Amino acid sequence: MLREGAIVIDLHVHSTCSDGSCSPSELVHLALKGGVSALSLTDHDTTAGVASFMETCEEYGLEGVPGVEISVEVKPGTMHVLGYYIDCANASLQAGLAKIQHGREARNREILRKLNELDMDLVWEEVSGLSGEDIVGRPHFAKALVERGYVKSARQAFDRYLAKGKPAYAERFRLTPAAGIGLINGAGGVAVLAHPSTLSLGRNDLEQLVGDLVAQGLGGLEVHYSEHTSKQVQAYLKLARKFKIVATGGTDFHGDLNPGLRLGCGFGDLEVPDELLIELRSARDRVRAPDASGQ
């Protein structure tokens, strides 16, 4: 449970515009109900929900941060980069996201083909119909498999068919880290490495990676996260300070797709202090400041 009187923020949530179960406006109401003072919508590879999200935030007096979560390619797999305070009208950003989405669409068709070859007669229309508003992803295939009775749960769908290395898994196009960070910075935003614990890197390797990313324009590290231990939080905070980048945090809330995980407090004990937002705003201002050499 949160400490009484604690003021917290949540800078990592997903809506029906990617793989969440709540609409952008529903997320705002959940945040208000849970005592969250600021919220960022960070859907996967899309900003489709940001306009309605920001409008609802303004209507109800919640501080909203326009965001996105971009998937990038690293060895041996995938890394996610969060973008905060982005200009969603930026043409280069939208062109880059469109390229990622085209790759996702091709991957979805390949997943469907593999499932059909496994004698599961799903059709595209039933899978796409399960996506709320925009992007179709593996969670929608999982839900379709549950509804058809091929599996008992979404977790079982991933474990048997959809996870990496399973028979219906398919790779998809991803940007390089430098390209993903460049899209965010170019749109006036702060690029932040998401949930570093999921990279499964040792301390030295992670430090090397963060150093390389900072050289490419990375501005922050997601220190506070639902699945980070207190020991990891301290280690990531130390790493952020070493490279003089901001610390951020969020729950990675997906609604019903993450049973037991709640917006604003994760599994019950996550606190992302609101003072981190001050540092994030300062980082945004540094990204947007004119280059001194150009004056």
Give the CATH number, domain containing residue 149: 1.10.150.650
pLDDT of residue 293: 42
Q: Are residues 200 and 88 in the same domain?
A: yes
Structural domain includes residue 167: no
Q: What are phi and psi of 259, to 5 degrees?
A: -55, 130
Structural domain includes residue 270: yes
pLDDT of residue 172: 84
pLDDT of residue 294: 44
Q: Where are the alpha helices (DSSP H) in 187-253?
A: 203-215, 230-242
Report the distance separating Cα 275 and Cα 2, nearest Å.
16
Of 136, 137, 48, 45, nearest in space to 96 by CA: 45
Q: Are residues 139 and 26 in the same domain?
A: no
Q: Are residues 84 and 117 in the same domain?
A: no
- Burial of 103 by CB count in 10 Å (0-12 exposed, 13-18 middle, 19+ buried)? middle
**Per-10-residue mean pLDDT, the chain, length 295:** 67 92 96 96 96 98 98 86 99 97 92 97 90 76 95 95 95 92 98 96 95 98 96 97 98 89 91 95 93 45
Structural domain includes residue 3: no
Q: Are residues 92 and 127 in the same domain?
A: no
pTM listed for this prediction: 0.88
Its domain, for residue 112, covers 101-162
Q: Are residues 67 and 14 in the same domain?
A: yes
How many separate domains does the chain show? 2
pLDDT of residue 256: 85
- Burial of 217 by CB count in 10 Å (0-12 exposed, 13-18 middle, 19+ buried)? middle
Q: Are residues 154 and 215 in the same domain?
A: no
Q: Are residues 119 and 258 in the same domain?
A: no
- Longest Cα separation, the chain: 64
